[in-house]
Amino acid sequence: MKPIVAIVGRPNVGKSTFFNRITKSRDAIVDDFPGVTRDRNYGDATWDNVVFTLVDTGGFLSDDKDDFVNEIHFQVLQAIEDADVIIFLLDGKAGISPYDKDIIEILRATEKPVFYVVNKIDGLEQETSLYDFYSLGIDKLYPVSAEHRYGVYDFLDDLVSAFPKSAPEQTEDMIKLAVVGRPNVGKSSLINHILGEKRLLVSDIPGTTRDAIDSVCNINGKSYLLIDTAGIRRKGKVSNKIEKFSVIKALRSLDRCDVALIVMDANDGITEQDITIAGYAFERSCGCIMLLNKWDLVEKDSKTAKRYYEQLRMESKFLSFAPAITISALTGLRVPAIFTYVDEVYSQYAARITTGQLNRIMELAIKKTEPSLHRGKRLKFYYATQVTAKPPTFVCFVNYPDAVHFSYKRYLINQIREQAKLDKTPIKLIFRQRTGKIEFGKKKG
């Protein structure tokens, strides 16, 4: 499971710029006006081959006329509770603020690792600005410039070394299923039907489930871990403070699972938010099954299901490999069939194919359709191998890895799907540079 790192600090210290620097994105809004970041933003970052989730929070003010101050305060406290490691960002140009002292008092109450980072230090000559911050009773300060990268990489070395060592899960022999979707689409009702008991609170009020809840079931001699999650609302619709931190818990559940059961309310039709949630699962390389729930409420004719499936495929082309099924958690319609699909998806998700078989597939695919030239030079593919499963991940060595067009990469993945019978799982194909090896279809001499 990915460690979660929360960035906290008062307004306008550069949290969003720092977030963008570490995640190598422009996802956080950056502006000189204090308080621009109201909601928590989150993104994945990688350092030294360690992947973690970074959370950008709203600026902390303990006493302010800002209408959002209570919500921001709440978010900071909740981010600290959810995080494995906390970064407290200070402003090296503006100096110490009374609000900094307020935050430190909160942070001293936690036993989690806290890194005190002084931003806007653009070089060695400006590190004299650190002296004042030691008066806060901090032993170790990290001078950085989020805008100019100064000190950031040294800091990241220490950050990843502080991540908690993941204890081996006691559920390794279980297939882990995360049940995700918008609020009130029937996630808890589905789990209750599977378990045969009212294990989870079910209500018509959206947002009843506020945390990830684990339940174990045994079906046909196989054990499954069901992870119920809070409904993921469209960002513009998130108004209740409790719901503001539900998304990150749902994302963490996706990081834990083998297969995501993406529940949709068929009576509402397929919404943009359904597709967004499916995208979260796809980005985390989960096996996926799309469940069109409440099918008993849909007015149907002989072609209704076909129309739903066609719309679903059209709007979620990135999940063309994911099975879809109409169900009713209320009546139990086709609920047992879910586990037939789960077993099929998981079998492929955990599959390994031999290097020999993979290279035969790649050789035939390249002979069938050759890649386009790169700056007048031919792309050469040398060999490929599977490096991991869950999902199946393959590395292919080529002379110009950056020149492989995304459409050709998609073509090769589709060939692997077809020939290796991996049509229901995500597949990763990574290109790396290698020279001086024999190409596919070439022989020595």
Query: How many CA atoms within 13 Å lie on the side-chain side of 361?
Result: 23
Those residues whose C-beta lies under 8 Å from the C-beta of residue 70, and which sit 6 or more positions away, are 241
- Rounded Cα gap, residues 436 and 430, in angstroms: 19
Taking 3-state DSSP, the helix, strand and coil percentages for the chain, each rounded to the nearest 5, stand at 35, 20, 40
pLDDT at 37 exceeding the cut of 80: no
SS3 state at 51: strand
Confirm if 240 and 205 have CB atoms less than 8 A apart. no
pLDDT at 312 exceeding the cut of 90: yes
Where, residue-wise, is CATH 3.40.50.300 in the chain?
4-161, 175-349
Q: Highest-confidence range of 186-195, 222-231, 429-438, by mean pLDDT?
A: 186-195
- Digit-coded pLDDT (tens) for 369-404: 999 888 778 889 999 999 999 999 999 999 999 999
Residue scoring higher pLDDT (341 or 249): 341
pLDDT score for 366: 95
Where, residue-wise, is CATH 3.30.300.20 in the chain?
355-433
Those residues whose C-beta lies under 8 Å from the C-beta of residue 156, and which sit 6 or more positions away, are 22, 47, 48
Kindly state the helix (H) or strand (E) to which residue 18 belongs, with its residue range. helix 15-23
Q: What is the CATH number of domain 355-433?
A: 3.30.300.20
- Beta strands 287-293 and 324-326 are parallel
Those residues whose C-beta lies under 8 Å from the C-beta of residue 163, and which sit 6 or more positions away, are 3, 50, 52, 84, 85
Q: What is the CATH number of domain 4-161?
A: 3.40.50.300
Q: Can you tell me which residue has the tokens 């609920």?
A: 335
Those residues whose C-beta lies under 8 Å from the C-beta of residue 48, and which sit 6 or more positions away, are 156, 157, 160
What's the mean pLDDT when you consider all of the chain? 83
Q: pLDDT category, 128, cuts 50, 70, 90?
A: confident
Lowest model confidence (mean pLDDT) among 274-283, 354-363, 436-445:
436-445
Confirm if 22 and 156 have CB atoms less than 8 A apart. yes
pLDDT score for 71: 53
Residue whose C-alpha is closest to residue 48's, from 149, 148, 158: 158
Lowest model confidence (mean pLDDT) among 12-16, 209-213, 274-278, 432-436:
209-213
Mean pLDDT of 87-93: 91
Residue scoring higher pLDDT (191 or 209): 191
Residue whose C-alpha is closest to residue 228's, from 205, 208, 244: 208
Query: How many CA atoms within 13 Å lie on the side-chain side of 181?
Result: 27
- Rounded Cα gap, residues 330 and 268, in angstroms: 16
Q: pLDDT category, 38, cuts 50, 70, 90?
A: very low
- Digit-coded pLDDT (tens) for 59-80: 555 554 544 455 556 656 776 7
- Rounded Cα gap, residues 309 and 264, in angstroms: 12
Amino acid at 46: T
Residue scoring higher pLDDT (347 or 60): 347
Q: In what order do the strands lie in the sheet with 428-433?
A: 381-388, 393-398, 428-433
pLDDT score for 169: 54
pLDDT score for 227: 87
pLDDT score for 32: 42
Q: pLDDT category, 243, cuts 50, 70, 90?
A: very low
Query: What six digits make up the tokens of 91?
Result: 């402003």
Confirm if 228 and 212 have CB atoms less than 8 A apart. yes
pLDDT score for 197: 63
SS3 state at 252: helix
- The second-level CATH assignment, the architecture, of 175-349 is 3-Layer(aba) Sandwich (3.40)
pLDDT score for 356: 95
Lowest model confidence (mean pLDDT) among 191-200, 275-284, 301-310, 355-364:
191-200
- Rounded Cα gap, residues 305 and 426, in angstroms: 24
Mean pLDDT of 193-204: 64
pLDDT at 244 exceeding the cut of 70: no
